[in-house]
Amino acid sequence: MTAFMSGVCLAQAPGAAAGAASAERLSLSMGEILQKGGWTIYPMLLVSVLAVAFVLYLFAVLRQEQVVPRLFRKDVLARIHDGDFEGLREACNDKPNPLGEVTLCALDFLEADPQTAVSQLKDSMQGEGERQALAIAGPTQYLLDIAVISPMMGLFGTVLGLMNAFQVVALDLAKAKPLLLAGGVSEVLINTAFGLLIGIPAMMFYGYFRSRSAQLVASLEAASADVLNALIRKRNA
């Protein structure tokens, strides 16, 4: 009985060892991923670095203090109320920001034609505001492009890998074993997984920054309206 159980354990041991080895192979190191994924992994690595760079950049620039600084807004309105237009121009030049650019546009327009109609002044400020709004929201488009392109790059790498795998099978029918073919498919699918790993977070960050930029543009519009009303009141005073 003891000998029988020992034989059973010995018979099961190789299978258990094989199962453990298979489990270990389920996890791949970064080096193995790069090796098995092929050359198409490297362009996707570059795209992932660009995505991280854009995310950090957008976190830095899409802030209230970068678009409509609270103290700067109060200073602009106070200088308009006091009639200090030279000081207002210096303040806008000393601290460049979208609200300052819109204010400078209004000052230039009034300086060229002090008796200009309110509608023309409003149109001038609105045109500059639209340009600034495009500069605020425009960079978020790059994240959308990355979110769309990276899965397609992964799919391209997968297609190339499948073509190579089936080409080997076509040249040598003796290698046409299901296990070998399945292993090749799992390896080339690394490209698809890598592309999705880049695209999904990029799309999520794009949605966040798109909403953030819309809020900042709305804040810029409100501040520009305050500047316009202050200029009108000062001219009519």
Q: Indicate if 152 and 212 belong to the same structural domain.
A: yes
Q: Indicate if 129 and 147 belong to the same structural domain.
A: no
Q: Indicate if 176 and 152 belong to the same structural domain.
A: yes
Q: Indicate if 156 and 214 belong to the same structural domain.
A: yes
Confidence (pLDDT) at 143 = 93
Question: What DSSP string runs through the chain?
Answer: -HHHHHHHHHHHHHHHHHHHHHHHHTS--HHHHHHHH-TTHHHHHHHHHHHHHHHHHHHHHSSHHHHS-HHHHHHHHHHHHHT-HHHHHHHHHHS--HHHHHHHHHHHHHHH-TT--HHHHHHHHHHHHHHHHHHHHTTHHHHHHHHHHHHHHHHHHHHHHHHHHHHHHHH-GGG--HHHHHHHHHHHHHHHHHHHHHHHHHHHHHHHHHHHHHHHHHHHHHHHHHHHHHHHHHHH-
Q: Indicate if 191 and 174 belong to the same structural domain.
A: yes
Q: Indicate if 167 and 201 belong to the same structural domain.
A: yes
Report how many domains make up the chain: 2
Answer whether residue 45 is part of any domain. yes
Average pLDDT of the segment spanning 188-213: 91
Q: Indicate if 58 and 173 belong to the same structural domain.
A: yes
Answer whether residue 171 is part of any domain. yes
Q: Across the chain, what does the average pLDDT equal?
A: 81
Q: Indicate if 115 and 71 belong to the same structural domain.
A: yes
Residue 1 has pLDDT above 50, yes or no: no
pTM of the model: 0.76
Q: Indicate if 155 and 127 belong to the same structural domain.
A: no
* 52-65 pLDDT tens trace: 999 999 999 999 99
Confidence (pLDDT) at 20 = 42
**Which range has the worst mean pLDDT, 110-124, 157-171, 172-186, 215-229?**
172-186
Look up the domain containing 145 and give its range.
35-63+140-219
